[in-house]
Chains A and B, each alone.
Chain A
Amino acid sequence: MSFALNLLTVLAVCAGAFFFLAGTAGLLRFPDPLSRLHALTKADNLGLGFVVLGLLFQAEGLFAGLKLIAVWLLTLLAGATVTQLIAGTARPSGPRE
């Protein structure tokens, strides 16, 4: 049982690490700010999401698990807000009116 849980953790954490790799590569290689923003949101949402998923299999108790999910949701919300705000400032024609 514990072996199966550990295996799931390893798989999910590896998937998360892959998305961080992808996000960084996108941030470094994509030509313009808006597509870099696109790459960043992948790392944010999926990278951290898979890491949290993997750690859920190791969580001790319900409250600990809920806190992990709360961290992910907060990051999602913060990420979405900031992405919107940055997209507004990054437009070549200035902020949207």
Chain B
Amino acid sequence: MSGSTAYGLCSAALVGLGLFGLIVHPEPLRKTLAFNVIGGGVFLLFGVVARRGAAAGFGGDPVPQALVITGLVVAFAATALTVGLLLRLFQEAGRANLRSDE
């Protein structure tokens, strides 16, 4: 097993773990965290593919690396919007969960 395979297996586990958190956590803040954990796992998978594609004197394929940088920025934008929505919900409703039956 090479180093990048170890990280590849790690990324697979991270995606599964994050998905589990996203489904079972009732609080939206924890769902946001879980979503970011999934994001980390997906980006890591890209990183492993990039590392395997090392060629032309580069340590890794720069195209997936650039995609990951774009992805990280977009993930941050989504997280900031989620947190904004969440804080506003808390302000309006005095609670921050997604139950509609009250």
A–B direct touch, CB within 8 Å, in complex? no
Which residue numbers of B lie inside 8 Å of A, CB to CB?
Answer: none
Interface residues of A (CB under 8 A from B): none
